[in-house]
Structure 1
Amino acid sequence: MNPVTSFFRSGQSGPLHGSGGEMCTTVVSIDPHSAVPVLLIGVRDEFLDRPWLPPGRRWPHRPELVGGQDLQALGTWLAVNPQVPRVACVLNAHGEPAAQSRRLTRGELPLRLAADGEAGDLDITRYDPFHLVWATPQSVRLWSWNGATLDERALHAGLHIIVNSGLEGADESEGPGAAQMRARIEYFRPLLEKAPRPEPREGAVESAWGEWLPLVSGAGLDVADARALVLRRSIEAKQWGTSSLSLVALTRTGARYDFCGDPAEARPVWSRVL
């Protein structure tokens, strides 16, 4: 089944668990002729005191899934199913929030899509606005929900950048941070396009991701820079910023997943998950 069809069912879902945080930027590189057709960069921005666990098999009812777990609501911002292979991740979007009395957390959505390839019976009006990326080696799709309408599109060969204001910042006039999102896209797109596209399969993180790794790790920009991919901000006396970075590569038969949980350190530490 094309997973988009399931989003239009009217069934009510039961209580769900998930992450209320956001992953501020997702980059997807698609090359159908490559041995690694899909590369995904996931940048999660969140209040830094929100507790979470690094990627692992955190969901006994979905033992095939690997992802970081948000401990406030027990869902995830990104989930990998290495058996298929498949990856799904969610970002906050701009729009009308769901009614507080009916709201379900968006962190369940990557789990559903990564596990089943479809959302099942889902009442989308119970979720705050989101962008949801779903990828297999053969197909990449993006859904954007603004609280009123759902937009679905296939992503084709090339480099795609999704931020909270949408694909390539298309909805930047509708929400906060528009200038920063535009600056981020304008700075990092040419750098990623110029660097040789990696084909990460085996080996250490540094050799597998090549020239992409220092770019994803921040490209040397200060965390206060408006263009920064790895950032820090103070919001109402609380620290907010990039809490983790994920790199996912899908071959036709498997998945590679590399993770950095301290991206603002002077020397970010990367580890291989899958």
Structure 2
Amino acid sequence: MCTVIIDFDPGRAWPIAVLGLRDEQPGRAWDPPGAWWPGLGDGVRGIHDREAGGAWLATNDDAPGGPRAAVVLNRREDLDMPAAGWTSRGVLPLEAVTTGVDAEDARSARSWNLVELRPDGVAVTSWDGSSLRSIDVAPGLHLVTHEGPDHLDVPRVHRWRPAFLDVPSPIGPLDGATAASWEPWLRTLRSTTSVPADADEAIVRVDDHDGLRLASLSVTALSLGTDGAVLRNARLAEPGRLPEEFVWE
């Protein structure tokens, strides 16, 4: 199950920093960040799921009201399939950064948490199969998992949130003058691999769930400011295991 680390500091030039671990079936094909949805506008980019056509994470530099980003995480509820079939959760980030999430799509998908990011705010919306709930997230550092933000009863949050709190957060994009500011988070991420990938406390994970094997497939670094989003992604050649050197796309 995915893990997303967020730092929100409204006083920074780049208020939003996100480090995302995407967990998915290793055989499911996907594409690196790009403008895979030309019908949604030139500013929409993201990580493209080839099977369903949606996005795990999407950004839009041209969104009404300013740049925004969104990322979807699975929840654990086992829901009954609607008569019309499931809506892919991958439509939700794309809707979030363009028109806004459609309520019918939201309720006809398997359970989810959606993190919506703007330079002036962060919100997490959850669908558990019975109700839609949305909360605004305060400035500071947060770990979001299948349970939502900062649930300390989730072992990986309890174990590793203090470690991320103890190091400086990135102050800008993972390139140019601010690239080095990502090193404390990346070192901390590497330190989490001291536990096995199938351990409850693992962030870089291999997870058997509902008869499926899910594993961490990529690491995403996102910076969001008033001028737009800078998105970098590193594919893990071996699911559930960090490479010696990240190759950023």
The TM-score bracket by the shorter chain reads 0.7 to 0.9
Question: Within 2, Cα distance between the matches of 1:129 and 1:235?
Answer: 14
Cα gap change, 1:89 to 1:200, in 2 (>3 Å): same
SS of 1:210's equivalent in the other structure is: helix
Q: Does 1:156 align with 2:156?
A: no
1:169 Cα deviation from its structure 2 partner: 2.8
SS of 1:80's equivalent in the other structure is: strand
Q: Please, which moves more after superposition, 56-65 or 217-226?
A: 217-226
Q: What residue number does 1:46 align with?
A: 24
1:94-173 equivalence runs, <5 A: 94-95=76-77, 97-102=79-84, 103-116=86-99, 118-120=100-102, 122-169=104-151
**8 A contact 1:91–1:163 mirrored in 2:** yes
Q: Aligned residue pairs: how many?
A: 239
1:95 Cα deviation from its structure 2 partner: 3.0
Identity of aligned residues (%): 28
Q: What whole-Å deviation, never above 9, does each CA across 1:1-54 have from its counterpart, x for those lacking one?
A: xxxxxxxxxxxxxxxxxxxxxx61122211111222111222111110111111
**8 A contact 1:69–1:75 mirrored in 2:** yes
Question: Within 1, Cα distance between the matches of 2:130 and 2:92?
Answer: 18
Amino acid at match of 1:69: H
Question: Within 2, Cα distance between the matches of 1:239 and 1:256?
Answer: 31
Q: Please, which moves more after superposition, 141-150 or 32-41?
A: 32-41
Q: Which segments of 5 or more consecutive residues in structure 2 lack a partner in the other structure?
A: none
Amino acid at match of 2:221: L
Question: Within 1, Cα distance between the matches of 2:11 and 2:58?
Answer: 25
Q: What whole-Å deviation, never above 9, does each CA across 1:52-77 have from its counterpart, x for those lacking one?
A: 11111111212321111111111111
1:234-273 equivalence runs, <5 A: 239-262=213-236, 264-272=241-249
1:254 Cα deviation from its structure 2 partner: 2.1
Considering fraction of residues, name the structure with more strand.
2
Q: What residue number does 1:58 align with?
A: 36
Question: Within 1, Cα distance between the matches of 2:242 and 2:105?
Answer: 40
Q: Please, which moves more after superposition, 241-250 or 197-206?
A: 197-206
Amino acid at match of 1:41: L
Cα gap change, 1:100 to 1:39, in 2 (>3 Å): same
Aligned pair partner of 1:71 in 23, 45, 50: 50
Question: Within 1, Cα distance between the matches of 2:43 and 2:223?
Answer: 17
Amino acid at match of 2:71: C
With the length of structure 2 as denominator, give the TM-score of the two structures: 0.85
1:202-221 equivalence runs, <5 A: 202-203=175-176, 207-217=180-190, 219-221=192-194
Q: What residue number does 1:29 align with?
A: 7
SS of 1:42's equivalent in the other structure is: strand
**8 A contact 2:58–2:69 mirrored in 1:** yes
Amino acid at match of 2:114: L
**8 A contact 1:246–1:259 mirrored in 2:** yes
Question: Within 1, Cα distance between the matches of 2:200 and 2:77?
Answer: 23
Q: What residue number does 1:178 align with?
A: none
Q: Does 1:91 align with 2:73?
A: yes
Q: What whole-Å deviation, never above 9, does each CA across 1:177-201 have from its counterpart, x for those lacking one?
A: xxxxx22112221111111122123
**8 A contact 2:19–2:222 mirrored in 1:** yes
With the length of structure 1 as denominator, give the TM-score of the two structures: 0.78
Amino acid at match of 1:55: P
Cα gap change, 1:37 to 1:127, in 2 (>3 Å): same
SS of 1:112's equivalent in the other structure is: helix
Amino acid at match of 1:45: D
Output the aligned Cα RMSD.
2.5
Q: What whole-Å deviation, never above 9, does each CA across 1:190-227 have from its counterpart, x for those lacking one?
A: 11111112212342885241211222356442424432
SS of 2:248's equivalent in the other structure is: strand
1:258 Cα deviation from its structure 2 partner: 1.6
Cα gap change, 1:32 to 1:204, in 2 (>3 Å): closer
Question: Within 2, Cα distance between the matches of 1:252 and 1:142?
Answer: 20
